Each structure stands twice: as structure tokens, then as C-alpha cells.
Amino acid sequence: MTLGLLARKKGMTTLLNDHGQAVAVTVLEAGPCAVLARRSREADGYDALQLGFEAAAHPERLSKAERGHFAKAGLAAMRVVEEFRCTGAETFTVGQILTVGGFAKGDRIDVRGCVKGRGYQGVIKRWGKHGGPGSHGSHFHRTTGSIGQRTWPGRVFKNMKLPGQMGNVFRTIRGLEVVGIDPELHLLFVKGAVPGAKNALIRVMNRSADFATRYHAGQAPTTAVETATTPGEEAVSS
């Protein structure tokens, strides 16, 4: 797993690429994230960075141990705390702030989020089955239909596509392209769709080999973006 940032999905919009073509992108408000702790292979058995994201709305509701953890890092209480397993964690310092300035146009990223929950659904919506005839007298319209045999094998096979809970599971989309960034607003423009509803928590992992070193080189590659939307138009959630 690679290093990245925590983000909020703000919606979708359209950008113009270098050839003037309209590209559908997802807008992510990524970071800033603070380094709360470091994990080392010698002490913890693995290398990772613990990042904090968004200020806690009610710090007084945290436990004494949680407040002490943030105080040890010299940071205010955070709402979201997650770990990113990565190499070179020892090169970061506790309290360091990571922003979208470490991303660059053309980077390939993996995003992980929880897809929208659809509730308990039937086989037609959940799996795309065709169902039965729609005319009168059929008695078979949107039901499941046969799911097995009689005496042999006398059971339902595993992985049968049946009604059940749809959505509300975590999905990882790999290899999405970064179209542009806005360092001032902490925005990341990603080509294509990202799982999750509007304002959903998203894990963004940069696959670039030199991503971690960008924060130490003092360089913040940025790319100006042009929007094809009309002035005042808001991003629309997918």
C-alpha cells in the first residue's frame, strides 16, 4: 500500500484537457492531513504513517487517551484518524502537514470509498436479471425464479445471485488519473467516477514512486485547471 491523503467527495464536474476535450472528473477535497504517529517495523512490525483529517467537532467528547494522543503530537483533536502503510515513514516528522501540493497532473492514484447504500433489493436491480413476462397471467414478473434442483444435489449452490443488501460496501478503484489540482482550495480533480455519496470519506493513495519524497524536496507540483462549466454552476454528485 502506498502513501496518500484522506479526502471528502464534493461531487462531479467537467474540465477541459490539453486538447480542448471535455472530461468528466470527480472533485475531492483532499487534506490537509497531519502526521499523528509513525509505525516502524522494529517497534510495530510494519511501516506506516498515522494521519489525522478534519478538526473534531466536539473534542470534549474524546476519551482521555485520545486527547493525550493528539496532545503528544502537538495537534488539535482530529475527526478522522487512519493509517497508510508505506515505505520511508521514518523520513516524516510527527506534526508535519501533508497537502495536495504533493500531487501532480498525470499521477495515477487508487481511491477507496464506501458505495451508496441501496437497501434490500431484488435480483433485477441488484444483479440485472431480466425477470419474467410482463403480461397478465404470467405469475412470474420480478421474482427470483428457480435456484436449484430436486433430490440431487438437494441444496442451493454457493454464490447464487439472490436478493439482499445492495451497496454500503467498500470498493477500491485503481489507476485513476489526476487531471488537475487546486492547492489553495485543497481540491483534487480525478478523471472518472469515485465510489461514495457526496461528502463521503475517500482514501486517496498515490501510486507514484517519488510521491513521498516530494514533501521533502520542497517542491509542490501544481497544475492550473480550466472548467467547462458555466460561472456559478455547482458540482453535481454522481
Q: Please write the tens of the pLDDT for every residue from 152-167.
A: 888 999 999 999 999 9
What is residue 230's DSSP assignment?
P
Q: Which residues contact 198 (CB under 8 A, 6 or more apart)?
A: 9, 10, 11, 237
Would the pLDDT of 227 be above 60? Answer: no
pLDDT band for position 212 (cuts 50, 70, 90): low
CA 210 to CA 220: how far, in whole Å? 12
Is the pTM above the cut of 0.75?
yes
Residue 216, pLDDT score? 65
Q: Which CATH superfamily is domain 4-130+159-214 in?
A: Translation factors (2.40.30.10)
User: In angstroms, what is the C-alpha Rg of the chain?
Assistant: 23
Q: Residue 139 CA to chain centroid, in angstroms?
A: 43
Question: What integer best gives the mean pLDDT of the chain?
Answer: 85
Q: What is the pLDDT of residues 81-119, one digit of tens each?
A: 999 988 878 888 888 899 998 888 888 999 999 999 999
